[in-house]
Chain A
Amino acid sequence: MVHLNAEVFSELVDGGVVAGAEEHLASCAACRDQLASLRDLKARLRALPELEAPAHLWSAIEARLTGRPARDRRFGWPALIGMQAAAMAAVFVIGLGIGSMFTGDEALEPSGVPVIGQVAEQPPASSLEDALAEVRRQGAEYDLALRRLERVASRAGTPMASLAVERLAALDVLVEASRSALATRPADAVLNSYLFAALEQREEVLRELARQAQQEAEVAWR
């Protein structure tokens, strides 16, 4: 028995009529099964779910639209340094949140003035381990300072705009620390991911500042 060919099946899947096909199908279970599976496949193809765009895509688009230096991660992370770096960045960001758990310093400064300025720049690290430790230390201090700022804001009604400025300054220090560490190992995946995490947060702050200036309203951080 000669079975139906791919083009005939395709025509039938689209609802077309092919001379002799119906007669053949009536007597051929194999071709009936094949036609059914092709129809089913078309339905399954149409039922594929919508996909989420990668999280970094907007940054790349915005960079191209504004002409700012591109943070094009196609050629940086995670494309080059892979998922490990992305995972480490996430760990780092999470680490910012839990950093103060290890510092144990919950006291406000007597003046109530935010203490981010105490996060001082350090001399270039002499080894990767030192550099990494320094980045972590800066991250923990940054977190602690942020928490103090929040407490000051909630108790004394400090304008949030100044908090944004302070946060930006702290992030600048953190960025510098990361870059200092990268001077030791420029291609290090972990350090690169730290730098990008800090830069990303810095951008977020800048966005908030811009939005705030536009709306002339207080910004509710976090």
Chain B
Amino acid sequence: MTRDFTEAAVIKRARAGESEALKLLYERHSSRVYTVVRRLAGDDDLAADLAQDAWVNAFRKIRDFRGDASFGTWVHRIAVNTALTRLRQAARRRDLQEGYDGGSTLGNADAWPASRATDRVTVQRALDVLPEGYRAVLWLHDVEGYTHEEISDRLGIAVGTSKSQLSKARARMRALVEAARVEVLDHGTP
């Protein structure tokens, strides 16, 4: 008998607790989930933790999935929420008002890519070294398409703070990428 591997069928099996179906869903959507938590985390180890939490949350709640959106969209939303919750908790622990105002590290110059850096690596590295409050607002707004009101709600900051964070994040990103480009030129490209 041929098994039905459509998304709906796999989800149905996953909701019944079938481990193979859970793994199949994971394999189909793992990149999307990992990408968003990695971008928000700015760090590989933290991203792996967040992705793990996100998937465990999703599978434990899979009976609540009604199919109003696609499974990919649903689990992506869980991943964002998981990441933001963790980042907010970390922010509280570190008294992160400073972090959310962007007063933390500018980034380690040693972490910048060397002369053969590609453009993507440069942008990615710049994103990684942004203060996490900047990074979260920038990513949520510019890539995920969240409004400032939504960001305000998710991060527990004022709308005005979200707008201010975004403008500072963009300016900082531009400065970081420009600095990297200058470094590349200084070192000379092969």
Q: Which residues of A contact B (CB under 8 A)?
A: 6-7, 9-11, 13, 34, 37-38, 41-42, 44-54, 57-58, 60-62, 64-66, 74, 79, 211
Contacts and interface: CB of A to CB of B under 8 A. Distances in A.
B20 interface: yes
A89 to B, nearest CB: 17
Contacts, number: 102
A130 to B, nearest CB: 35
18 contacts: A6-B170, A7-B163, A13-B170, A37-B174, A41-B123, A41-B177, A44-B123, A45-B173, A48-B120, A48-B123, A50-B32, A51-B31, A51-B38, A53-B51, A54-B44, A57-B48, A58-B26, A60-B52
Which secondary structure dominates chain B's binding surface? helix
Interface of B: 19-20, 22-23, 26-27, 30-35, 38-39, 44-45, 48-49, 51-52, 55-56, 59-60, 119-120, 123-124, 127, 138-139, 142-143, 163-164, 166-168, 170-171, 173-174, 177-178
Given A46-B143, A62-B23, A57 B166 contact: no
Contacts of B52: 57, 60-61, 64
B32 to A, nearest CB: 7
Q: Which of A10, A46, A52 has the most CB of B within 10 A?
A: A10
A193 B51 CA distance: 24
A54 B32 CA distance: 12
B31 A10 contact: no
Q: Which of A37, A45, A211 has the most CB of B within 10 A?
A: A45
Contacts of B163: 7, 10
Contacts of B26: 58, 61
B140 to A, nearest CB: 12
A61 B23 CA distance: 10
Given A49-B120, A61-B55, A38 B138 contact: no
A199 B56 CA distance: 23
Contacts of B174: 34, 37-38, 41
A74 B142 contact: no
Nearest to A34: B174
* 7 pairs of A and B residues whose beta carbons are closest in the complex: A10-B167, A53-B34, A53-B30, A6-B171, A6-B167, A7-B167, A51-B35
Nearest to B141: A14
Given A46-B143, A48-B123, 17 more contacts: A9-B170, A10-B167, A13-B170, A34-B174, A38-B170, A41-B177, A45-B139, A45-B142, A45-B143, A48-B39, A48-B124, A50-B32, A53-B33, A54-B48, A57-B30, A57-B34, A65-B59
A47 B167 CA distance: 20
Contact of A74 (B20, B48, B178): B48
A85 B33 CA distance: 27
Contacts of A65: 19, 22, 56, 59-60
Contacts of A41: 123, 170, 173-174, 177
A53 B28 CA distance: 11
Contacts of B127: 45, 48
B45 A74 contact: yes
Given A62-B23, A65-B59, A45 B45 contact: no
Q: Which of B26, B138, B143, B167 has the most CB of A within 10 A?
A: B167
